[in-house]
Amino acid sequence: MDPLIFHNDRIAPLSEIHLSPGQTGLLMGWGVFTTLRLYQGIPLAFERHWARMARDAARLEIDLPYQEKVVREAVIELGRANQRPEGAARVSFVKNHGGLWGQAEGLPPTDLLIFTRELAHWPAANRLHVEPMGILSGGHYAGAKMLSWVPHAAVLERAHEAGFDDALLINERGQIAECTSANIFLARGRTLLTPPLSSGCLGGITREIIFEIAPRAGLEIREAELTTDDLSSAQEVFISSTTREVAGVGFISPKWNYPCPGEKTAAMELAFQSYVAEYLARAEPAA
């Protein structure tokens, strides 16, 4: 994490920021967040991230007393202060009031926290471990990107300990949903298949963009209910996330191997880079 962070309305050294254990969001993981990719100091697709955070905040009954433009400019300003034109930023909204143990008098309804850091190193060919019952597809909060992220984080730690890069989460119906922080795509011929949101997967921003740009790569894309049986008929597999962009999968435990990057994965990588270049060309600079 970079040394300066943004808290509510100012940039300050991390050591000077004080949060209270009585803030409900810190005690209970009651909050929403998103991870942004910084290109040339610009947060890619910020408007999409903001729209998703607003939807999830409404589901979790969290006030967002900030304007989209103000938060976007804060991200850019913090990246500039940390000399981080290329990297990642995390925006979190933490609920302050409510709950039996809440004690946050004098604090706003919601705290805004923004961090930046260097990009994580991702492998050229991802190795995935299948995690049965790794996610629940039902419930009011399924697919919400909220601070209560322990189930995914714990699975990821176990996958790393076992020598894998991520885990492929299977829901309670035996369907493929997602990885711990990435969506998954299977290629068959000129068609890309990805689990529907009803699987419990997160509606990833890069996933959303891939649906729009796949035709540029000459590919059809559609949602489909998938199981591990479908891994045998896939010709190649890739995952997507804000920080990974489009990333090939070379192996899924215990028995599936794929060319990495495959032809369709490489085509989607190129299409995504074209999207990034077009976005940056029309992006509004910070004030």
**One pLDDT digit (tens) per residue for the chain, 287 residues:** 999 999 999 999 999 998 888 899 988 899 999 999 999 999 999 999 999 999 999 999 999 999 999 999 999 999 999 999 999 999 999 999 888 878 888 889 999 999 999 999 999 999 999 999 999 998 889 999 999 999 999 999 999 999 999 999 999 999 999 999 999 999 999 999 999 999 999 999 999 999 999 999 999 999 999 999 999 999 999 999 999 999 999 999 999 999 999 999 999 999 999 999 999 999 977 66
Question: Would you state the structure tokens that stand for residue 99, as one six-digit string?
Answer: 């709950």
Contacts of 31 (CB under 8 A, 6+ apart): 25, 60, 62, 92, 93, 94, 95, 110, 146, 147
Angle between helical axes of 68-81 and 46-59 (0-180°, round to 10): 120
- Given phi > 0 = left and psi -120 to 50 = alpha, else beta, which region is 98? left
Beta-carbon-side half-sphere exposure of residue 44 (alpha carbons within 13 Å): 26
The pTM of the full predicted model, rounded to 2 decimals, is 0.95
CATH placement of domain 4-117: 3.30.470.10
At residue 249's C-alpha, the angle toward residues 222 and 260, to 5°, is: 105
Write down the CATH superfamily of domain 126-276. Answer: D-amino Acid Aminotransferase, subunit A, domain 2 (3.20.10.10)
Sign of the C-alpha dihedral, residues 207, 211, 212, 218?
positive
pLDDT at 130: 98
pLDDT at 66: 93
At residue 286's C-alpha, the angle toward residues 1 and 59, to 5°, is: 65
The number of beta carbons lying within 10 Å of the beta carbon of residue 203 is 15
Q: Which of 64, 2, 9 is nearest to 34 (CA)?
A: 64
Q: Quote the DSSP letter at residue 201.
A: -
Which sequence spans correspond to the domains of the chain?
4-117, 126-276
| DSSP bridge pairs for 192 | 187, 221
- Given phi > 0 = left and psi -120 to 50 = alpha, else beta, which region is 24? alpha
- Indicate the helix (H) or strand (E) that contains 80: helix 68-81
Place of tokens 């008098």: 105
The number of beta carbons lying within 10 Å of the beta carbon of residue 72 is 22
Q: Which of 273, 260, 262, 268 is nearest to 214 (CA)?
A: 268
Per DSSP bridges, beta strands 166-171 and 126-135 are parallel
